Every structure is written in C-alpha cells, then in structure tokens.
Amino acid sequence: MTTDRWERCNDQERAQLRGFARSIAEVEWLLLVVILVYLFVAQPALANPLIVIGALGVFVLAALILRYTPRLRAKVQLKITLEILAMVGVLTVVLSQVGGETSALVNFYLLPVIAAAMALGTRATLLVTALVCVCYLLLATVDAGLQSLDRMLFAEALGVLVPFVLIAFLTGSLAENIRRANRRIRSLADRDELTKLLNIGAFMRLAERAHKNTARTEGAYSILLVDVDHLKKINDSYGHEAGNRALRVVAEALLRVTRSEDLIARFGGDEFIALLANSEVTVATDIAQRLRSVVYAATFEVNMDIVRVQVSVGVANYPLDGETLEKIMAVADRAMYADKELRALPEGQLVIQKR
C-alpha cells in the first residue's frame, strides 16, 4: 500500500500546488503593476526606460509562456520554480536601474522567498533565499565595484537580509505544518474508523488505478472478498464491542498475510476486500487459506468464554475472471458465498467455546 498511498498523496499535493500556482500568477501581475506605478508615477526620473521596459516585457512573455504551454502546465512544481526565478530576475534588473540595494523595491524580494516556502519546501526556500542574498550583494557592486564589499556593506546586508531569512524559515515551517496536517486529515478521511484499514471509497479509487496500470502492463492481480461468519451471533451474545473485536481480528489477520503494496479495506459491515498486486490465482488461493487459518487461531475472551472467529473468502483474478474491476469483484463475491456454503457449520459451532 505504500506506493499507492504515495501516489494518492501526490495527486492531492499536485492539486494543492496548482492552487499555489494560480496564486503566484496573480502575484506576478500585481508585482508588475506595482513596479510600473513606482517607476513611472512615483519615481519617473530614476528609471532607464529601455532596460526596465525590456525586462518587464521579457517577464510578461515568460509568464505567458509558463501559463499557456501545456507541457509546463502539467509540471506544476517546475512551473512554479521557473516563475519564482523569473520574479527574482526581473526584480534584480529593475533594482539595478533604480537605486540598487537601497531602493524601496528591494522588499519585494520577499515575494519569491514566500512563494518558495509555501509551494516548494524547505530546501528550495533556502536556495531561493541564498539567490536573493547573492542578487542583493551584486546590486551593491553595480556602481561601486567589488571594493564596495566591505564590513559596512555586510552589516547593512545583514540588517536587510536577516528578516528575509527569518520570514523564509517561519513561512516554510508554517507551510510544512499545514501540509502535514492536510496529509493527516486526508489519511483519516480515507480510513475506516474501527479497523484503520482503507474505507471503500479510498479502496475503489486506488483499485481502479491499479487495474488500469495492470491492464497497461499486461500483468495480473487478484481480489479477495472476505466475510466474517456468524458476526450477528457474536453481537447478539456478547454485545457490539465483542463484534468490533472480531472485526479487528480479521483486519489484523489480513495485514499479516498480505504485503505492503496490496490494498486492504473494510468493504462495509462484516465484509473486507483485498487487492493483491501482481498476484496469480494460485498465490491468492494460498493467501486465502492462510487467512482462514490465522483468523481461526486468533481467539479472544469475553465474559469467561473464548470467542473464535471464522471467515469465508472468495478469490477472483484479473485477467482470468474478467476484464473490468467490477467484474472481478462480482466473481469474488460469488466465490465468497460458495465458500460459505461449502464450509457451512451448525450455527455457533467453532464460534463460541465455553471455558
């Protein structure tokens, strides 16, 4: 399940990244407007029109290319990275024409730093912050040359750049906490509260993907449908908490006999389902028998009585039993009921044993 969980997180995080990308695009146009207002309204005498307009034109062209190129739009993280670099570049060129590191516009270097912290993670944020620091020092040497790199300049740089670093750290930490909380919320939403296995909604989403991948690679997988026998009798005799314990016994047994790449879910009520990745029908049949044995051996005590759980298991295989996931599940369902009838025992036998 590790791979599928990672893919599911990737899908959801890509959707989040696309939201960040839209916000960054809006910030880009806002930055463009602010620069134009500052240069041509507030400080018109400072700007070299040809260089500044040329830089802004390249910036606009880059933003449009990044926004409307389908291949780049699909690679959201790369698109955001290029947009952040474009922001740093245009700011550096404009600042070199309007006062360098002493210009009021130098504070706009915070925009790419914050964007990296929110969208790209800690490492990218550190790299962007380092790039901003280098650009700041380069701006200081545009007019005065390398001899301007003295102790006084570094002291001034620390006064300006240390807040940038602190903001990058705080924003990055906040963004990581938000991402971690979102992953936790998504994980809880995909889990059955009682057994902590996948719920049926999450299972079907991941199983459909696994089916498509298997069909594309001409591989195989198997489905196990598992029914807890006589669960109603356990509930009626000992209460629903005992029934819940029986369900947890089956869930733990399923986890023991399957692998991390398999999908295990509570199907609902007293049923469970498993998708065994890259599994032939003979392997799935062996796992089904192991599951019956492990469940049968896992007793628990209620009111001085030993409760022993049984399961009926149906096995179906792709591509032997059908071409769609729904068909495979239907075959496994019929096999499960056939297994129940084949091994039918008198009501209560082997389920409840008196001490």
pLDDT in tens, 109-168: 888 888 888 888 788 888 888 898 888 888 877 665 555 555 666 667 676 777 877 877
Lowest mean pLDDT among 26-35, 44-53, 97-106, 313-322: 44-53
Domain count, the chain: 2
* Residue 119 covered by a domain: yes
The residue among 103 and 316 whose pLDDT is bigger is 316
Q: Are 15 and 150 in a shared domain?
A: yes
* Residue 324 covered by a domain: yes
Q: Are 42 and 100 in a shared domain?
A: yes
Which conformational region is residue 269 in: left (phi greater than 0), alpha (psi within -120 to 50 degrees), or beta? left
**Predicted pLDDT at 345:** 53
Q: What is the widest separation between alpha-carbon atoms in the chain?
A: 97
User: What pLDDT band is residue 307 in, cutting at 50, 70 and 90?
Assistant: confident
For all residues of the chain together, what is the average pLDDT?
82
Q: Are 162 and 270 in a shared domain?
A: no
**Predicted pLDDT at 46:** 58
* Torsion of Cα atoms, 257 then 258 then 263 then 267, to 10°: -10
CB 22 within 8 A of CB 46: no
Q: Are 31 and 166 in a shared domain?
A: yes
Q: Are 308 and 181 in a shared domain?
A: no
Task: Count CB atoms within 10 A of the CB of residue 68.
Answer: 9
Lowest mean pLDDT among 155-169, 226-240, 243-257: 155-169
Strands annotated E in 70-220: none
CB 223 within 8 A of CB 274: yes
**Predicted pLDDT at 8:** 44
Residue 48 class from Cβ within 10 Å (0-12 exposed, 13-18 middle, 19+ buried)? middle
**Could you tell me the pTM of the whole model?**
0.56
Could you tell me which of 91, 87, 89, 88 has the C-alpha nearest to residue 99?
91
Distance CA(37)–CA(15), nearest Å, equals: 34
* Residue 282 covered by a domain: yes
Q: Are 251 and 337 in a shared domain?
A: yes
Encoded tokens for 55: 């830089």
Domain that holds residue 25: 2-189
